[in-house]
Amino acid sequence: MSTVLELPVIRERGQREVFCGLTGIVWLHRKMQDAFFLVVGSRTCAHLVQSAAGVMIFAEPRFATAILSERDLAGLADANDELDRCVRQLLDRRPDISTLFLVGSCPSEVIKLDLQRAAERLNTQFLPRVRILNYSGSGIETTFTQGEDACLRCMVPHLPESTSATAELMVVGTMADVVEDQFTRLFAQLGVGPVHFFPPRMARDLPPVGPNTKLLLAQPFLGETARALIARGATLLASPFPFGVNGTTAWLKAAADEWGVSADRLDAVTAAPAERARVALARYGPWLKGKRVFFFPDSQLEIPLARFLYEECGVELVEVGTPYLDKLMISSELLRLPATAQISEGQDVEKQLDRCREARPDLTVCGLGLANPLEAEGLRTKWSIELVFSPVHGYEQAGDLAELFARPLDRAQRLAV
């Protein structure tokens, strides 16, 4: 066990300046092109998802909200009948949809609207054309990226039973298609396979799972999904996450070891892209080396990204905040952090802001609500949400990842006004 795992962690409980799990819809609805997400909630939920999606909408969204009204709450209308009507209306409009997620929210949880039963009821009407699933993205139970965990978790029981007699690899967590293709090529060169990605690009193409399934997690916020897959017989390959050269190599090695790939072959396959990534990274070294970075808790990516910045960019870590610590997910990462990094779990935003102002870091990684106000106080910031929405995994993106952190520093130096 590393020293870090025993280090005192600041645990705080107070105002959280973090999105709720509904926000995951923003990327999940783009990843699975035949899926639609129907939030059952309030006007606040609708407003939240559209505000978080913001400028990213180039086309009609595959999400919507069934907004609860006074009538539903007062029992003047049967909320279940109303929900069925909304679902019919929606599926009439979008015949291209094959999977519909009913997404629970704070109000639907508090009034105990049973979306599990609603999904079962609607499935009797719409299967096989549309499969209806449900999960909760409510802020009283989930934080930001936990929404993806809850979504994938609810798909797990529907994955087909694998009939494979030999090992299969399942990569879990949303990544850009282009990044998946890069990894697919690397796995093929290593002789690791067959490889399935979860979530799939089409929600109807669910990957198989069984006792021969080996799990490689691409994202650090999928603890419940991993546990559910393990319960279906899969084995988790422990590894750091594939950020930067070291993370990517370690991640590939975890699979390579399982498949009995020789060290020479791993080196041969990874040497060129790893070298390329080092070239790309070197460009940003001068910007990042020795810089002091402070992470506010946001996406759960904080610890893996802090490890990347520390190991490969020479960054000094001031505080690394994370919404919650899931040791199953994050132990391999924590082991690699320096003992000087202060980890914090949860949030009391005003106190954390006090610490941040006191520390005057060179770069503060934080959410959109905090970024401009901190800039106005003279601190350089990096929006953390961009780290979730950009392709940052793997060798070919290592340089891009460093650049995301270097850009605010570059910009600060350029501006003379």
Partner 1 sequence: MELTLWTYEGPPHVGAMRIATSMTGVHYVLHAPQGDTYADLLFTMIERRDKRPPVTYTTFQARDLGGDTAELVKSAVRDAYERFKPDAMLVGESCTAELIQDQPGSLAMGMSLPIPIVPLELPAYSKKENWGASETFYHLVRTLLLPLAPPPGSPPRESVTAAATRENRRPRCNLLGGTALGFRNRDDVREVTRLLSDIGVDVHVCAPLNATVKDIQAMPHADFNVVLYPEVADTTARWLQKTFGQPTVRTVPIGVLATREFVEEVGKVAGVDVSALLERERAGTAQVGASRSLLPWYSRSVDSTYLTGKRVFVFGDATHVMAAARMAKDELGFTVVGIGTYSREYARPIRDLAAALGVEALISDDYLAVEQRVTELAPELVLGTQMERHIAKRLGVPCAVISAPIHVQDVPARHSPQMGFEGANVIFDTWVHPLMMGLEEHLLHMFKDDFEFSDGATPSHLHASPPAAGAERPARAESMGAQRLTPLSSRELEAPEAASAVGFAEEEDEIDAVVAVAPIVTSWMASAEAELKKIPFFVRGKVRRNTEKYAHDRGVAEITVDIMYDAKAFYGR
Q: Scanning residues 69 to 108, which ones bind partner 1 (CB under 8 A)?
A: 69-70, 72-73, 77, 79, 82-83, 85-86, 89-90, 93, 106-107
Residue 178 contacts partner 1 per CB under 8 A? yes
Task: Between 98 and 136, name the residue whose CB sits nearer to partner 1.
Answer: 136
Residue selected from 9, 10, 42, 123 as contacting partner 1 according to rule CB under 8 A: 42
Tokens encoding 123: 């499935």
- Are 20 and 139 a contacting pair, CB within 8 Å? yes
Q: Which of residues 358-397 bind partner 1 (CB under 8 A)?
A: 367-373, 375-376, 396
Sign of the torsion angle spanned by Cα atoms 252, 257, 261, 266: positive
Which range in 15-23, 123-131, 209-217, 263-271 contacts partner 1 by CB under 8 A?
15-23
Q: Least distance (Å) from partner 1 to the CB of residue 392?
A: 13
Minimum CB distance to partner 1 smaller for 5 or for 53: 53
Q: Which of 52, 195, 215, 329 binds partner 1 (CB under 8 A)?
A: 52
Alpha-carbon Rg for the chain, nearest whole angstrom, is 22
Phi-psi region of 316 (alpha: psi -120 to 50; beta: other; left: phi over 0): beta
- Taking CB under 8 A as the binding criterion, the range among 116-124, 139-147, 239-247, 313-321 that sits at the site for partner 1 is 139-147
Q: Taking CB under 8 A as the rule, does residue 270 contact partner 1?
A: no
Binding status of residue 244 toward partner 1 by CB under 8 A? no
Picking from 134, 181, 124, the residue whose alpha carbon sits closest to that of residue 154 is: 134
- Say whether residue 66 binds partner 1 (CB under 8 A): yes
- Binding of partner 1 by 284 (CB under 8 A): yes
Quote the CA–CA distance of 390 and 399 in Å, as a whole number. 12
What are 85-89's contacts with CB under 8 Å, separation 24+? Answer: 86/38, 87/38, 87/122, 87/126, 87/132
160 binding partner 1? (CB under 8 A): no
The secondary structure element, H or E, covering residue 44 is helix 43-53
267 binds partner 1 (CB under 8 A): no
Cα distance between residue 370 and residue 58, in whole Å: 26
Classify burial at 112, counting beta carbons within 10 Å of its beta carbon; exposed 0-12, middle 13-18, buried 19 or more: exposed
Nearer to partner 1, 319 or 403 (CB): 403
* CB of 240 vs partner 1, minimal distance in Å: 22
Question: Counting contacts by CB under 8 A, is residue 279 touching partner 1?
Answer: yes
CB atoms within 10 A of CB 6: 9
Q: Which two tokens stand for residue 282?
A: 């070197």
Q: How many residues bind partner 1 (CB under 8 A)?
A: 89
List the beta bridge partners of residue 213. Answer: 168
CB of 296 to partner 1, least distance (A): 12
Q: Which of 56, 127, 140, 412 is close enough to bind partner 1 by CB under 8 A?
A: 140
